[in-house]
Amino acid sequence: MKSFNKRNQISAYKFLIPFFIVFILINLVPYLIGLYMSFNYWYLMTEFKSENIKFVGIENYTLLYTEPGIKQAMSSVLLYVSLSVMVIHPLALFFAKMISYCLKSTQAWIILAFITPYVVSDMAIEFSLDIFRDASGNLKYFKENWVSLSYYDALISIYQLVGFFTIVYYMVLKSVPKNIIEAAQLDGASIFLIFYKIEFNYMKKMIIMMFVLSIVMLIGSARGINFVIDNLWFVGDMGISAAFTWTYIYYLMLIIFFIFLYKKVRSFMARPFSARLSNQELSNARSLNPRLSNSRLSNVREEK
Amino acid sequence: MNYLLKTGLAKIYVTIFMLYIAYLLVRPLSHFLAPFLDWNEWGETYYLLQSIKDNYINIWISLKITFIGTFVGCFLATLTAYPLAVYEFRFKITIMFLLVIIMMIPFIVNLIPMFLTLKLAEDYLSFIADIPVVSFFINRTLVTTVPFLIPAFGVFVIKQFIESVVNKEMLEAARIEGATERRIFFVLILPILFPVIAIIALIQFSGIWNSYELSLYFVGDESLRVLAHSVQSQPITIGAASPITFLNDILVFVPILFLASISGFIIKFINADLISQE
């Protein structure tokens, strides 16, 4: 059991008061009201009274799953996100590696050049892609359907986000210890081998985090989700809209639960078998198998 | 091959990028230079200026809101990141988990429940008394800053920065001298954090300036829209100079100007060694 300094705890919670207030007002209360609303029917234009609210059970969710338009939009979101994620991260790693080779005096300009597309709005980028449009603003070279539009949006989001992730990866690349790389160079390893064997292993954790972050950012800007919310808004049925939010949260909870389960199982499997034996059994096993005495954990046990 | 990888390709890519950025920066100004270079007539430029005059309130409102939002968001992010980095307390991991959840749910998904809460609060609070707080939020563009008030990603970045930069012995020394925790935060910690706050401010600024969804759903009045919404609501016409192209140029121009003004801090942040070598 950890022991905490009382003064430290009180001052920490004092700093966190504004966070709690904003979190409750912006996130927690809307989620709870949304959860209540997702099992009821309420039309937006009527007053929020018990006469106008009808309990419908899970009908909202079943409507969400059976509606063909929503299904198409969600599949387009999947296509768009997976496509752009597959392109963004390899490209960003490649550019980060290239920036690290440049002169230090030019790096500042390069970094600024990479950040700028992240700052510019996607609407403006879409607007500046006027090769794809005719004079009246319609798309020229392809038909407007969900598949082609998700390719088109992926192009824009790749342009926007590659620079951002390049700089994150560049910052991580800088923190890789230089002596290991030098040793590898002396042994005659090529750039690719060094990158794959050393630097990539150091960056693995950060890459996974950025992968998740990029998925969330892409979902936030997806055309499909905008389309669904827009339609639900103009229909005015608040129950289905709240159900839409909560299906997202259910999926999120499922994913978090599976990660938790995976970690538990992995930590259980990683524990050596010798840790579960008594001292007598361990010494017996050691006499049978000399390799066991070399294992790290059994040594630790001996010291205790 | 090695030479190409090391210098050549990067230089080509960056020159193309820089040219494009220069083009973006010059574009709004080029409308005023155009008559002198005989590209078009003065009449067209006057026509474009009319669009600024029509959307003057939108531009002013969105500028005001983005500055308020960036300031409040950065301040809240530092306030939440500091105790997570420095102190040991019981529910630290739960708070980190909450922040991860905030980061995982994009605000568009949470949009309609957020509207519901505002609507319900309006109904009930106006029934009790005429409280202007809710009406202030429902029909003003200040709502557009609401989902950006806790930048969860920014909290993690600032936490990382504090852990790598701030010396804990210095804090102990300050405590022995008799400084309160609040004084330590404002006098010792905040001045060091400017480089990292700059990059969070950039993310906040571009996020608030470019978001039109909240304005689209929450703000009823046409004159209270933000600039991004007023650009979004107009139909796209390409070719001849039209008001929407000019407004679009302004939409691109302002965040790049903001980036240029804080670029020194950002480069300082990127060149710092943040991630400690364990």
Question: In the prediction, which pLDDT does B278 show?
Answer: 40
Alpha-carbon gap, residue A175 to A203, rounded angstroms: 9
Q: DSSP string spanning B145-210? A: GGGGSS-HHHHHHHHHHHHHH--HHHHHHHHHHT--HHHIIIIIIGGGGHHHHHHHHHHHHHHHHH
Q: Grade residue B95 by pLDDT with cuts at 50, 70 and 90.
A: very high
- More confidently predicted of A86 and A137: A86
Q: What is the pLDDT of residues A122-181, one digit of tens each?
A: 888 877 776 777 766 677 777 778 888 899 889 899 989 999 999 999 988 888 888 899
Report residue A40: phi and psi, to 5°: -130, 165
The CATH number of residue B151's host domain is 1.10.3720.10
Please tell me the least confidently modeled range out of A61-65, A155-159, B40-44, B203-207: B40-44
Is pLDDT of B252 > 80?
Answer: yes
Helix (H) or strand (E) holding A68: helix A68-101
* Position B200 in a domain: yes
* Position B116 in a domain: yes
Q: Grade residue B26 by pLDDT with cuts at 50, 70 and 90.
A: confident
3-state secondary structure of A103: coil
Vertex B214: Cα angle to B208 and B218 (nearest 5): 140
User: Hey, is the C-beta of A130 within 8 angstroms of any chain B C-beta?
Assistant: yes
Alpha-carbon gap, residue B175 to B184, rounded angstroms: 8
Is pLDDT of A197 > 80?
Answer: yes
**Per-chain mean pLDDT for chain B:** 81
Q: Which residues of A touch B104 (CB under 8 A)?
A: 212, 216, 252
Percent of chain A surpassing pLDDT 70:
88
Percent of chain A surpassing pLDDT 90:
27
Is pLDDT of B247 > 50?
Answer: yes
CA R_g for chain B = 23
Alpha-carbon gap, residue A286 to A268, rounded angstroms: 22
* Position B15 in a domain: no
Most confident of A212-226, B26-40, B46-60: A212-226
Question: In the prediction, which pLDDT does B70 show?
Answer: 94
Q: Which residues of B touch A47 (CB under 8 A)?
A: 123
Question: In the prediction, which pLDDT does A126 show?
Answer: 79
* Position B11 in a domain: no
Inter-residue contact A165 to A214 (CB < 8 Å): yes
* Position B161 in a domain: yes
- Cβ separation B17–A174 shorter than 8 A: no
Q: Grade residue A249 by pLDDT with cuts at 50, 70 and 90.
A: very high
Report residue A246: phi and psi, to 5°: -75, -25
Question: In the prediction, which pLDDT does A263 show?
Answer: 87
Report residue B238: phi and psi, to 5°: -120, 145
Nearest alpha-carbon partner for B199 in B267, B145, B251: B267
Instruction: Locate the chain B residue with the closest alpha carbon to A117.
Output: B21
* Position B45 in a domain: no
Is pLDDT of A104 > 70?
Answer: yes
Q: What is the pLDDT of residues A277-293, one digit of tens each?
A: 667 776 776 677 666 55
Is pLDDT of B277 > 50?
Answer: no
Q: Which residues of B touch A24 (CB under 8 A)?
A: none
Total number of domains constituting chain B: 1
Is pLDDT of A262 > 80?
Answer: yes
User: Hey, is the C-beta of A119 within 8 angstroms of any chain B C-beta?
Assistant: yes
Please tell me the least confidently modeled range out of A19-28, A290-299, B166-175: A290-299
CATH 1.10.3720.10 boundaries in chain A? 69-236
Question: In the prediction, which pLDDT does A1 show?
Answer: 44
Percent of chain B surpassing pLDDT 70:
81
- Residues with Cβ < 8 Å from B36, sequence gap 6 or more? none
Alpha-carbon gap, residue A60 to A37, rounded angstroms: 10
- More confidently predicted of A48 and A196: A196
- Cβ separation A112–B236 shorter than 8 A: no
Alpha-carbon gap, residue A250 to A31, rounded angstroms: 12
Q: Grade residue A233 by pLDDT with cuts at 50, 70 and 90.
A: confident
CB atoms under 10 Å from CB of B201, counted, come to 24
Q: Which residues of A touch B273 (CB under 8 A)?
A: 174-175
- Residues with Cβ < 8 Å from B132, sequence gap 6 or more? none
Most confident of A29-33, A267-271, B44-48, B49-53: A29-33
Nearest-CB residue to A245 (from B98, B110, B236):
B110
Per-window interface: B 78-97 vs A, CB < 8 A: 79-80, 82-83, 87-90, 95
User: Hey, is the C-beta of A234 within 8 angstroms of any chain B C-beta?
Assistant: no
Question: In the prediction, which pLDDT does B274 show?
Answer: 63
Question: In the prediction, which pLDDT does A43 show?
Answer: 85
Question: In the prediction, which pLDDT does A115 show?
Answer: 87
Question: In the prediction, which pLDDT does A25 show?
Answer: 87
Question: In the prediction, which pLDDT does B142 show?
Answer: 79
User: Hey, is the C-beta of B149 within 8 angstroms of any chain A C-beta?
Assistant: yes
Nearest alpha-carbon partner for B213 in A25, A121, A65, A115: A121
ipTM reported for the complex, 2 dp = 0.83
3-state secondary structure of A42: coil
Inter-residue contact A80 to A150 (CB < 8 Å): yes
Alpha-carbon gap, residue A26 to A22, rounded angstroms: 6
Domain range for B111: 56-271
Inter-residue contact A262 to B130 (CB < 8 Å): no
Q: What is the mean pLDDT of residues B240-244?
A: 68
Q: Grade residue A258 by pLDDT with cuts at 50, 70 and 90.
A: very high
Please tell me the least confidently modeled range out of B5-19, B166-180, B186-200: B5-19
Q: Where are the alpha helices (DSSP H) in chain B?
A: 2-3, 9-33, 42-54, 56-86, 92-104, 111-128, 132-138, 152-165, 168-177, 181-183, 194-210, 213-218, 227-233, 243-261, 263-271
**Per-chain mean pLDDT for chain A:** 84
Task: Return the CATH number of the domain spanning residue range A69-236.
Answer: 1.10.3720.10
- Burial class of residue A201 in the structure, from the number of CB atoms within 10 Å of its CB (0-12 exposed, 13-18 middle, 19+ buried): exposed
Question: In the prediction, which pLDDT does B243 show?
Answer: 74
Q: Grade residue B73 by pLDDT with cuts at 50, 70 and 90.
A: very high
Q: DSSP string spanning A284-295? A: HHHHH-GGGGGS
